[in-house]
């Protein structure tokens, strides 16, 4: 019976990976199929959009970290949470940058396509900053600044908490396994004497 537990854990981990890949793929498809942003006379709406994205991102991270210790596969669940965090952040800001780029004022140093918006978002997130694409208008710079702050704070803190939660969940899982083995041995000891011992009778 014990030999089946690693196999079940492996299967659950594989199912988590498949589910995570499906969710990430769905988000990428939604980004690719999303309608092309149009010009608006209220560019400040994109700053509000960035704040809404920030709130949703922090909420998703907090819920994921809170549920992580209860996961049966904490390592896989922690990895998927990090990937989901990065995907939401990159695709969300990429669309906002595309929306800002179509405004009458030249918000960026060059027009942004779907691919170049993702490229610019990743360079900002990783603080690489090649300088080939730069924010020009104040609105674009404010949104880029919000992403910088988000990348420096939430991601670093989130990854740290995920690692700690994963380690804590791993320890709890090992403790539960050791406890179940201990109970099993105790039940075997309490089961009574062996049949051979029970059949022995003291001689007169």
* Domain ranges for the chain: 43-167
**What is the phi/psi pair of residue 108, to 5°?**
-125, 165
| Region for 108 from its dihedrals, namely left if φ exceeds 0, alpha if ψ lies in -120 to 50, beta otherwise | beta
pLDDT of residue 29: 93
Of 106-115, 157-166, 191-200, the least confident = 191-200
Q: What is the pTM of this model?
A: 0.71
pLDDT of residue 82: 81
pLDDT of residue 79: 78
Tell the CATH topology of 43-167. Helix Hairpins (1.10.287)
64-108 pLDDT, tens digit each: 778 777 777 777 777 788 888 888 889 989 988 988 888 766 789
Number of other residues whose CB lies within 10 A of the CB of residue 7:
9
How many whole angstroms separate alpha carbon 43 and alpha carbon 120? Answer: 20
Instruction: Answer whether residue 41 shows pLDDT above 80.
Output: no
pLDDT of residue 9: 67
Q: 84: closest CA among 118, 56, 50, 61?
A: 61
2-33 pLDDT, tens digit each: 445 556 667 777 888 888 889 889 989 989 99
């Amino acid at each position: 019976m014990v030999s089946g537990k690693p196999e079940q854990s492996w299967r659950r981990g594989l199912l988590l990976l498949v589910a995570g890949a499906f969710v990430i793929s769905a988000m990428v498809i939604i980004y690719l199929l999303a309608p092309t942003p149009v010009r608006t006379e209220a560019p400040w709406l994109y700053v509000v959009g960035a704040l809404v994205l920030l709130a949703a991102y922090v909420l998703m991270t907090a819920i994921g970290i809170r549920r992580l210790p209860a996961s049966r596969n904490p390592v896989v669940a922690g990895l998927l949470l990090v990937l989901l965090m990065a995907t939401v952040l990159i695709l969300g800001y990429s669309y906002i940058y595309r929306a800002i780029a179509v405004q009458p004022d030249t918000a960026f140093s060059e027009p942004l396509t779907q691919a170049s918006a993702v490229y610019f978002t990743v360079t900002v997130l990783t603080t690489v900053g090649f300088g080939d694409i730069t924010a020009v208008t104040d609105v674009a710079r404010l949104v880029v600044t919000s992403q910088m702050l988000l990348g420096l704070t939430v991601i670093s803190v989130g990854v740290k908490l995920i690692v700690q939660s994963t380690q804590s969940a791993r320890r709890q899982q090992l403790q539960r396994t050791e406890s179940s083995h201990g109970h099993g041995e105790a039940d075997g000891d309490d089961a009574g004497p062996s049949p051979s011992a029970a059949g022995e009778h003291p001689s007169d």
